[in-house]
Amino acid sequence: MDFNVKRFAADAGTFLSRAVQFTEEKLGQAEKTELDAHLEKLLVTAESTKQWTEKIMKQTEVLLQPNPNARLEEFVYEKLEKKAPTRMNNHELLGQSMIESGNECGPGTAYGNALIKCGETEKQIGGAEREFIQCAAINFLTPFRNFLEGDFKTILKERKLLQNKRLDLDAAKTRLKKARVADARAAAEQELRMTQSEFDRQAEITRLLLEGVNSTHAHHLRCLNDFVEAQTTYYAQCYQYMVDLQKQLGSFPSSFSNNNQSSASGGASISVPNVVASASLPSVSAGHSSSTASAGFSELRSSNGSRRARVLYDYDAASSSELSLLADEVISVSSVPGMDSDWLMGERGTQKGKVPITYLELLN
């Protein structure tokens, strides 16, 4: 019991000494030991890393889950260490509505069948989005959160301890200056040596922890690469799903009568454009060169002959009826009756298949 009382009294005395020293420093009545420049720089770097990590985490969470109420619900379940209920995302909800509408309209009709195919694709995109969110949460958000809740909290703890050791050191220096009696000076000098040693040791501990932030940067860089790779995979999947869908829709009748147009106009037509399955789409040229190229392709289709053409961009065939292309190679192209105007038949040796005209430049 007496030991606990003495310990409490000692702790209270230390706290009071630090409070007095801190107050006098703020009032300019006491000197303050400054940390070395290297340690100060490390502290600034650590604080900056913490602030930007929090900002990136917050914006990433908004990207992955734009609904603030859903984010709050996920946060509550996480704190309760319970699994949040699985709900359909927006793409899956849209897909479900399209499929139900298509079935009501009639799967045997062109519109009903198209709705069902669109709904199935939207659900595929929803599944890809779910996989992307899960991958990003595990490989990107979790390491960032671990840094804030683990390493940086340890840094804060040791930095606070360093601040206390610094206050103890400066308080000991002040007592040494005020000591007049030899015995008091001897005791003050011994206290100064002890507080200086403790301060130096704590400064070294803090420095080692702060230098570990560079390793954190390297780890976060790897996490960033994982995040970009997950995004690349997700967007590539979505693009391919939509390309496949447009090709399926291209098999449906492309013109429908519009009752709002006059009979003289013959009705408005809705045509489904062909999308070329390539990671890099060519830019659209304007002016005289575009007109010349268009005229060349029109002439080729009307003549039913063949021409040599230079490939402008790499193209990966999306089906067995198409021909893969390499940029700058020269192939033979010809028109086939009944083929879509955006495509030609290409030949390379014994290989033959459809090729998109936007990837070609006819040679004289």
SS (H, E, C) the chain: CHHHHHHHHHHHHHHHHHHHHHHHHHCCCCCCCCCCHHHHHHHHHHHHHHHHHHHHHHHHHHHHCCCHHHHHHHHHHHHCCCCCCCCCCHHHHHHHHHHHHHHHHCCCCHHHHHHHHHHHHHHHHHHHHHHHHHHHHHHHHHHHHHHHHHHHHHHHHHHHHHHHHHHHHHHHHHHHHHCCCHHHHHHHHHHHHHHHHHHHHHHHHHHHHHHCHHHHHHHHHHHHHHHHHHHHHHHHHHHHHHHHHHHHHCCCCCCCCCCCCCHHHCCCCCCCCCCCCCCCCCCCCCCHHHHHHHHHHHHHHHHCCEEEEEECCCECCCCCCECCECCCCEEEEECCCCCCCCEEEEEECCEEEEEEHHHEEECC
Phi, psi of 34 (to 5 degrees): -90, 145
Q: What percent of the chain has pLDDT over 90?
A: 45
> Could you give the CA distance from residue 125 to residue 245 in angstroms, rounded to a whole number?
12
Mean pLDDT of 258-282: 40
Report the alpha-carbon angle 155-143-39, nearest 5. 25
Position 189 pLDDT exceeds 70: yes
CA distance 309 to 326: 12
Radius of gyration of the chain (CA): 36
Q: How does pLDDT run across 292-319, given as a tens digit for each residue?
A: 566 677 788 777 788 899 998 888 888 8
Q: What pLDDT was estimated at residue 210? A: 94
Structure tokens that stand for 206 in this block:
């803090």
pLDDT above 70 coverage of the chain, percent: 78
Mean pLDDT of 14-34: 72
Say which residue the tokens 């702060």 belong to: 210
pLDDT of 279 higher than 60 = no
Do β-strands 306-311 and 351-356 pair in parallel, antiparallel, or remain unpaired?
Answer: unpaired
Most confident listed range (15-24, 254-263, 342-351): 342-351
Top-confidence range, 12-16, 308-312, 335-339: 308-312
Instruction: Give the distance from CA 38 to its chain's centroid.
Output: 33
Which position has the higher pLDDT, 2 or 28? 28
Kindly list the strands in the beta sheet with 330-334, ordered across the sheet, starting from the edge strand earlier in the chain: 351-356, 343-348, 330-334, 306-311, 360-362
The predicted pLDDT at position 331 comes to 93
In this structure, the chain runs to a length of 364
Q: 123: exposed, middle or buried (C-beta count within 10 Å: 0-12, 13-18, 19+)?
A: buried
Other Cβ atoms closer than 10 A to 188: 19
The answer to whether the predicted template modeling score (pTM) of the entire model surpasses 0.75 is: no
Write down the pLDDT at residue 343: 87
In tens, the pLDDT along 49-85 reads 999 999 999 999 998 887 777 666 666 666 667 776 7
Residue 99 has pLDDT above 50, yes or no: yes
- Mean pLDDT of all residues in 91-103: 94
Task: State the CB neighbour count (10 A cutoff) for residue 167.
Answer: 23
Structure token pair of residue 307 = 């021409």
Is residue 14 pLDDT above 80, yes or no?
no
Please check the confidence at residue 267 and state whether its pLDDT lies above 50: no
Closest among 33, 38, 29 to 168, alpha carbons compared: 33
